[in-house]
Structure 1
Amino acid sequence: MARIASESLIERLVEWGVDTVFGLPGDGINGIMEGLRRHRDRVRFVLVHHEEAAAFMATGYAKATGRIGVCLATSGPGGIHLLNGLYDAKLDHVPVLAITGMQETSVLGTGYQQEVHLDRLFADVAEYNMMITNPAQLPSLVDQAVRTAYARRGVSHLTLPNDIQVAEADADPYKHVAPVRLPQTAPVYLQSSGIPRQEDVEWAAEVLNRAERPAMLVGQGALHARQEVLAVAEALGAPVVKTLPGKAVIPDDSPYTTGGIGLLGTRPSEELMEEADVLFMVGTNFPYSKFLPEPGKVRVVQFEAEPTRAGARIATDVPVVCDAKEGLAALLPLLSRRDDTAHLAKYQRMTAEWRADMDALENPERDPIAPQYPVSILDELAADDAIMTCDSGTVATWAARHWTVRGGREFYLSGTLASMANGLPYAIAMQHAFPGRQVIAYVGDGGFSMLMAEFLTAVQQRLPIKVIVNNNNSLGQILWEQMVLGYPEHGVRYAEPEADFSAWARSCGGFGAKVTKADDVGLTIGQALAHDGPALVDVDVNPNEPPLPAKVSYEQAKNFAQAFLKGQPHRAAIATTLFKDRIQRMGD
């Protein structure tokens, strides 16, 4: 049996440490599927139900492991479906390789069926983007694609025409004058040292040592640097604010953190951004600059791995290009330990008050069920090394404020892209990567319904993921965004009948339970977590619970009131919910 070019592709991926490919077959990749079949003892192919899920799985795999995620789709519509998940990888800076099919080279340009030039379509999303036109290009271009994905922390794309996929692996049909030179060295995992220049570290230390009211802002680029972040925070006496993708950098119960920032953040974090005289940004390119200190009123030190992102959000006095862990380790010996802890103590008191306010909203007596309550139960019952994946929407607010990172817990969501539907595919990929850990997808009804077929994937592959659906029968985040703009809600609540996703879970062969009363939340989530296979709990929550920002601005309050005056259809229920929230935060 002749060795085909697709085998060369798969074999080179194996040399790069790839052991899993997420995808959906089609006639445009039958040759690649044959390459995978011939090497099925070396690479696991995870069959999904939608290509978008495959791309999300590759992205989630890369986020959780630090290794390149690989997804595979057929030509035309299959490749098109990958794009949303690939943009998630691009915007959150994780290495992903997308492999797609293409029509035979002899018919390209003729308007053949499903002829979509995916290399052109992927031009914006991909850092490296190439159509293979000669088997001799493999494995050299695989090396280029993987190296680029790692080095630039983004997406690479290779598309292979059908005839190239099944050609003999060593064929060079064009008899080139300059023959392709195959790589002479085996690939190695690409990880730059990230060590900063000494003069830059000394410059950063000088600014930080002069700070009277320092603040640290840490993001996902510092997820591997927990001990270094805590050590620097202790030396500076600096409160630490965490971006949502960086929620797991340090524990939520750490005495150094004030919690999150932005619309889903905390009041202490917002006030710290207003008061700080020096801001130390580590591993973050936080995009919402309106939540950062006013330019000119604070000095900024930034540790950033990518030179083009240093200083992109706020005027930066000391931009240092380095890996977060390497940079903090080099900085720590140069810091003058702060004896005056009054600044830190002030924010510790404020954070304790904020947490008490949030705890008060986790009320089991509310009917309909307050959405804060189920996630608080999940937080209480989940393992200390659990991985939570989260969809975009109001669920992100409840997770940000009521899911506690402690021990070895991790937290992942679609950060900069803020896509819906990522939570379930992420969970499947991470359960593949960490079969011994508890993996929980905390999702909304809107996001879950988009890719709910992947729960069947989890059952078919015997993956014990747990799915908790925060079901408000609406697109809750958009509802509140409409009102904050001053408009009555429109087109954001689903009609009757309301979805019962637990029935779908049971029909797939998994555990499925519907919860409509708060009294049943704890027992049912406990049963789901204890189940030895895939489990789903669909919880009906109050659709009129607003995900309020930590500090409501005058403009937001005015627009909210205008939405009521213009005819907000559920204003009575919303007003009642707001009143109950206010009473409970006062101590009920």
Structure 2
Amino acid sequence: MAELTAEVLIERLAAWGVDTVFGLPGDGINGIMEGLRRHADQVRFVLVHHEEAAAFMATAYAKATGKIGVCLATSGPGGIHLANGLYDAKLDHAPVLAITGLQESSVLGTAYQQEVALDRLFEDVTEYNQVVMNPAQVPALVDIAIRTAYARRGVAHLTFPNDVQIAPAHQDPYQTVAPVRPPATAPVQLTPVVRPHDDDLRRAADILNAGEKVAILAGIGARGAGPLVEETAARLGAPIVKSLLGKMVVPDDSPYVIGGLGLLGTGPSEELMEEADTLLMLGTNFPYTKFLPEPGKAKVVQVELEPTRAGTRIPTDLPLIGDVAGTLRALLPMLDRKDGGHLRAYREKFADWQHAMAALESPDRDPIAPQYLAHQLDVLAADDAVLCCDSGTVATWAARHWQIRGTREFYLSGTLATMAPGLPYALAVQHAHPGRQVIAYVGDGGFAMLMAEFHTAVRYRLPVKVVINNNNSLGQILWEQMVLGFPEHGVRFGEPLPDYAGWAAGCGGFGVRVDKPDQVPAALREALAHDGPALVDVAVNPDEPPLPGKVTYDQAKKFATSFLMGQPNKASIATTLVKDKIQQLRD
């Protein structure tokens, strides 16, 4: 049987260590599907129900393993469906390769059926983006695409016309000058160790040593350097604040951590950013600048591997270009040991904050408090559990009530903050780590978008656990409308209620619906112990507000304005707010 060009593609992917491709077949990629069939012993194809899920899975696979994630979609609408997941990879700097189909080269430009110029469509989302027009190109283009995705921590895209996919391997029908030879360069994963210059490190040490109230902001770029981050905090007497993506960099029970930053963060973290005279940013390009120190009020040292991102959020006195671990190893000997009074003061504030949050985790509140659900999930999950969170109010509850301890991990769509990736993320992480407990903690709005992928979990025997924080609404949008001073509109789904537990059971998995607080622990235990995919649909209080760590006067004023304008659910919202405050005062 003659070798196809599509086989060269798959063989080259395998040479780079690719073992999985997530995708959905179509007539625009039949040649590539045949290449996958012929090399199924090298590269596994995971069939999904929606191409968006395939892109999310590739992104999560890259985040969880450090290896390139690969997704596959057919021409036209199939490729278009990849876009949301690819933007998730772009904005969170995950190396992903998207492979798409294209109409036969002879009909391109003739408005043929489903003809979409996917290379043009993906111009903004990609670091490398090519149409493969000649079988002889394939080895070189695959190499360049994967090297670029690794080196620039982003998305590469190759699109293959149908006739090129099934052409004889290595054919060069347009050879006119010299033969094109496949590159001889061996595939390597590009994970450079970059260290700043000594004089820059000395200048950084001088800034940090001179600071009296130093703060550390750690992001996902500091992953793997947690002990060094803690050692730096101990030396500088500096509290550690974590970005949401960086939540798993340092354990939440570390004696230096005071929580996250931003709308989902803690009050002490916001106070620290207002008071700090020196800020050390480690592996983060934190986008919400209003939560960072006001320009000019604090000296800033930023450790950043990508030079173009240094100083883009806040005026930076000294950008250190390097990876966090290598930079801190070189910097630590230059740092003076400070008195720990500043750190102790903020740890005391954080203890008070934690007490206030624990008061909201009460099992006595009916309807079920989402904080209680998140806390029970935290208590019952394994110390090596991986939580894949969706966007929305669930991200607030996870940020505050899911604790990083042991070897736990935490993934979500950080910068894009798109809905729906929680379940596809969990499937990809479970595929990558079959022996670990993987939990998709999602809202009902996000789950409904890609709920068909629960069937994918059952088909591939991926024992993911899905916990739905079901407020029967688009909860985050509800509160955002109110903070703008508007009454809520168009955010509650109403009746009839979808039977998500029934869907799970119908797919062949475990499913149960919970609507009373005393049912929560037993339902979660049963789901976590189930030998296969399991879903727990929990009806939580839809009027529980995901309040920011520190409520400003302007936010409170606009919140009150929404009530005066005729907030349709003001009685239940007011009751919930009063119950929250009473619970905190009582405890």
TM-score range for the pair, normalised by the shorter chain length = over 0.9
SS of 1:139's equivalent in the other structure is: helix
CA distance in 2: counterparts of 1:19 and 1:448, whole angstroms: 27
CA distance in 2: counterparts of 1:188 and 1:15, whole angstroms: 9
Q: Can you list the C-alpha shifts for 1:81-138, whole angstroms capped at 9, x where unaligned?
A: 0000000000001100000000000000111000001000000001100000000001
| Aligned: 1:474 with 2:473 | yes
Q: Can you list the C-alpha shifts for 1:118-177, whole angstroms capped at 9, x where unaligned?
A: 000000001100000000001000011001101110000000000000111110001230
Partner of 2:172: 172
Q: Which residue identity is paired with 2:239? A: P
CA distance in 2: counterparts of 1:237 and 1:359, whole angstroms: 27
Partner of 1:117: 117
Partner of 1:295: 295
Offset of residue 52 of structure 1 = 0.0
Offset of residue 337 of structure 1 = 1.7
**Aligned-residue RMSD, C-alpha:** 0.7
Partner of 1:348: 347
Q: Which residue identity is paired with 2:159? A: T
Offset of residue 197 of structure 1 = 1.8
Partner of 2:16: 16
Partner of 2:377: 378
SS of 1:46's equivalent in the other structure is: strand
Offset of residue 326 of structure 1 = 1.2
Q: Which residue identity is paired with 1:477? A: Q
CA distance in 1: counterparts of 2:48 and 2:198, whole angstroms: 48
Q: Which residue identity is paired with 1:497? A: P
Q: Which residue identity is paired with 2:540? A: V
| Aligned: 1:529 with 2:531 | no
> Is the 1:473–1:499 Cα contact (8 Å) retained in structure 2?
no
Offset of residue 201 of structure 1 = 1.4
CA distance in 1: counterparts of 2:340 and 2:191, whole angstroms: 38
CA distance in 1: counterparts of 2:100 and 2:4, whole angstroms: 17
> Is the 1:225–1:325 Cα contact (8 Å) retained in structure 2?
yes
SS of 2:518's equivalent in the other structure is: helix
Partner of 1:65: 65
Q: Which residue identity is paired with 2:29? A: I
SS of 1:419's equivalent in the other structure is: coil
Greater shift, 444-453 or 206-215, is seen at 206-215
Partner of 2:203: 203
SS of 2:586's equivalent in the other structure is: coil
Partner of 2:513: 514
Partner of 1:542: 541
The aligned runs of 1:134-145 (5 Å cut-off) are: 134-145=134-145
Partner of 1:394: 393
Offset of residue 181 of structure 1 = 2.9
SS of 1:224's equivalent in the other structure is: coil
CA distance in 2: counterparts of 1:231 and 1:36, whole angstroms: 48
> Is the 1:268–1:354 Cα contact (8 Å) retained in structure 2?
yes
Offset of residue 289 of structure 1 = 0.1
SS of 2:473's equivalent in the other structure is: coil
CA distance in 1: counterparts of 2:68 and 2:195, whole angstroms: 22
Partner of 1:421: 420
> Is the 1:390–1:411 Cα contact (8 Å) retained in structure 2?
yes
Q: Which residue identity is paired with 1:7? A: E
Offset of residue 263 of structure 1 = 0.4
CA distance in 2: counterparts of 1:208 and 1:549, whole angstroms: 29
Q: Which residue identity is paired with 1:319? A: P
Partner of 1:436: 435
SS of 1:184's equivalent in the other structure is: coil
Q: Which residue identity is paired with 2:99? A: I
The aligned runs of 1:274-285 (5 Å cut-off) are: 274-285=274-285
The aligned runs of 1:76-87 (5 Å cut-off) are: 76-87=76-87
Offset of residue 287 of structure 1 = 0.3
Q: Which residue identity is paired with 1:259? A: G
| Aligned: 1:128 with 2:125 | no
Q: Can you list the C-alpha shifts for 1:205-256, whole angstroms capped at 9, x where unaligned?
A: 1111111100000111111211111111111111000000100010111110
The aligned runs of 1:216-295 (5 Å cut-off) are: 216-295=216-295
SS of 2:269's equivalent in the other structure is: helix
Offset of residue 203 of structure 1 = 1.4
Q: Which residue identity is paired with 2:93? A: H
CA distance in 1: counterparts of 2:326 and 2:58, whole angstroms: 27
Q: Unaligned regions of 5+ residues in structure 2, if any?
A: none
SS of 2:160's equivalent in the other structure is: strand
| Aligned: 1:43 with 2:43 | yes
Offset of residue 186 of structure 1 = 1.6
| Aligned: 1:449 with 2:457 | no
CA distance in 1: counterparts of 2:250 and 2:233, whole angstroms: 11
Offset of residue 189 of structure 1 = 1.2
| Aligned: 1:568 with 2:564 | no
Offset of residue 500 of structure 1 = 2.3
CA distance in 2: counterparts of 1:150 and 1:253, whole angstroms: 33
**TM-score normalised by L of structure 2:** 0.99
Greater shift, 210-219 or 196-205, is seen at 196-205
Greater shift, 197-206 or 357-366, is seen at 197-206
Q: Can you list the C-alpha shifts for 1:486-520, whole angstroms capped at 9, x where unaligned?
A: 00000000020122211100000000000000000
Partner of 2:359: 360
Partner of 1:184: 184
SS of 1:491's equivalent in the other structure is: coil
Q: Can you list the C-alpha shifts for 1:369-421, whole angstroms capped at 9, x where unaligned?
A: 00101110110010001000000000000000000000100001000000000
Q: Can you list the C-alpha shifts for 1:333-379, whole angstroms capped at 9, x where unaligned?
A: 111122x1110000110010000100000010111000101110110
Partner of 1:153: 153
CA distance in 2: counterparts of 1:451 and 1:578, whole angstroms: 32
Partner of 2:330: 330
Q: Which residue identity is paired with 2:553? A: Y
| Aligned: 1:552 with 2:551 | yes
Offset of residue 185 of structure 1 = 2.2
Greater shift, 326-335 or 383-392, is seen at 326-335
CA distance in 1: counterparts of 2:178 and 2:225, whole angstroms: 47
SS of 2:469's equivalent in the other structure is: strand
Offset of residue 179 of structure 1 = 2.4
SS of 1:28's equivalent in the other structure is: helix
CA distance in 2: counterparts of 1:139 and 1:196, whole angstroms: 35
SS of 1:164's equivalent in the other structure is: helix
CA distance in 1: counterparts of 2:417 and 2:323, whole angstroms: 25
Offset of residue 449 of structure 1 = 0.2
SS of 1:443's equivalent in the other structure is: strand
> Is the 1:382–1:529 Cα contact (8 Å) retained in structure 2?
yes
Offset of residue 195 of structure 1 = 1.9
Partner of 1:105: 105
CA distance in 2: counterparts of 1:343 and 1:429, whole angstroms: 42
> Is the 1:471–1:539 Cα contact (8 Å) retained in structure 2?
yes
SS of 1:138's equivalent in the other structure is: helix
> Is the 1:488–1:567 Cα contact (8 Å) retained in structure 2?
yes
CA distance in 1: counterparts of 2:372 and 2:403, whole angstroms: 13
Q: Which residue identity is paired with 1:425? A: P
Q: Unaligned regions of 5+ residues in structure 1, if any?
A: none
Offset of residue 178 of structure 1 = 2.9
CA distance in 2: counterparts of 1:524 and 1:49, whole angstroms: 28
Offset of residue 587 of structure 1 = 2.4
Aligned residues: 587
CA distance in 1: counterparts of 2:32 and 2:194, whole angstroms: 36
Q: Which residue identity is paired with 1:35? A: G
